[in-house]
């Protein structure tokens, strides 16, 4: 299980009532929003499910000149599983939701590559998933045709319904949009570097 720690709340002398009353007025004003920021910033539990096997996916899809479909998954062990024009593929719905059984079928059609992501590196980027999953995505902009779509996705697993919920980090190609979270660009850059190793479209 990936333990993705939250921040820690400091509860030392700064919360001493006598010391607070001795602070200058503008320091008191600054203290209140800072306290709220610290407390609300730790409201999320950043521990991924033991049952979650897949963390990230890159996918290229183009039907302009015949069917082109390729990409890779990154699992919780850091394995990179690649696919290229697989048959009878299970695609997620419009909300990027896919049942665990369907995803496992897709994984059976992938090839485990020689590349393995170090655990520390994987945890570094996996800790961004809760932030990305709770952020909005920009409006879709059409910028071309026949280029297909390049999608960067992260996942969270719902143990109750055995469903993987995908969250779009960025889409490029004929239509462009991106997750507005601060960490999205870092994750996309990292995933593009992995894709470069395989020269996938």
What is the distance between the alpha carbons of residues 55 and 49, in angstroms, rounded to a whole number? 11
Q: HSE-up of 80 (CA within 13 Å, CB side)?
A: 20
Task: Give pLDDT tens digits for 73-107.
Answer: 999 999 999 999 999 999 999 999 999 999 999 99
Confidence class for position 144, pLDDT limits 50, 70, 90: confident
Residues 103 and 144 in one domain: yes
The pLDDT of 114-118, averaged and rounded, is 95
Confidence class for position 118, pLDDT limits 50, 70, 90: very high
Q: HSE-up of 116 (CA within 13 Å, CB side)?
A: 5
Containing structural domain, residue 13: 1-47
Residues 81 and 17 in one domain: no
Residues 41 and 59 in one domain: no
Phi-psi region of 172 (alpha: psi -120 to 50; beta: other; left: phi over 0): beta
Residues 11 and 80 in one domain: no
Residues 7 and 84 in one domain: no
Residues 31 and 91 in one domain: no
Residues 97 and 172 in one domain: yes
- Total of domains in the chain: 2
Pick from 47, 64, 84: which residue ends a domain? 47
Residues 101 and 164 in one domain: yes
Residues 95 and 160 in one domain: yes
Cβ atoms 164, 103 nearer than 8 A: yes
Cα 47 to its chain centre, rounded Å, is 14
pLDDT at 177: 97
pLDDT at 195: 86
Pick from 47, 63, 83: which residue ends a domain? 47
pLDDT at 67: 86
Task: Give pLDDT tens digits for 162-197.
Answer: 999 999 999 999 999 999 999 999 999 999 999 887
For residue 129, give the H/E element and its range: helix 129-133
Residues 120 and 59 in one domain: yes
pLDDT at 200: 64
Q: Is 184 helix (H, G, I), strand (E, B) or coil?
A: helix
């Amino acid at each position: 299980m990936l333990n993705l720690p939250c921040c820690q709340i400091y509860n030392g002398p700064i919360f001493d009532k006598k010391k607070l009353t001795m602070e200058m007025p503008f320091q008191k004003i600054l203290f209140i929003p800072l306290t709220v920021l610290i407390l609300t910033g730790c409201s999320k539990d950043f521990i991924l499910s033991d049952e979650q096997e897949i963390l990230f996916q890159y996918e290229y899809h183009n039907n302009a000149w015949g069917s082109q479909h390729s990409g890779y998954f990154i699992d919780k062990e850091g394995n990179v599983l690649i696919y290229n024009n697989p048959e009878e593929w299970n695609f997620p719905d419009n909300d990027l939701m896919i049942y665990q059984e369907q995803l496992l079928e897709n994984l059976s059609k992938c090839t485990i590559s020689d590349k393995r992501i170090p655990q520390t590196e994987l945890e570094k980027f996996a800790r961004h998933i809760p932030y990305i999953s709770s952020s909005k995505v920009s409006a879709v902009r059409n910028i071309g045709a026949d280029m297909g779509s390049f999608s960067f996705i992260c996942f969270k697993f719902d143990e109750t319904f055995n469903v993987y919920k995908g969250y779009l980090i960025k889409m490029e190609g004929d239509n462009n949009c991106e997750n507005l979270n601060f960490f999205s660009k870092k994750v996309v850059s990292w995933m593009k570097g992995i894709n470069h190793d395989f020269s996938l479209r």
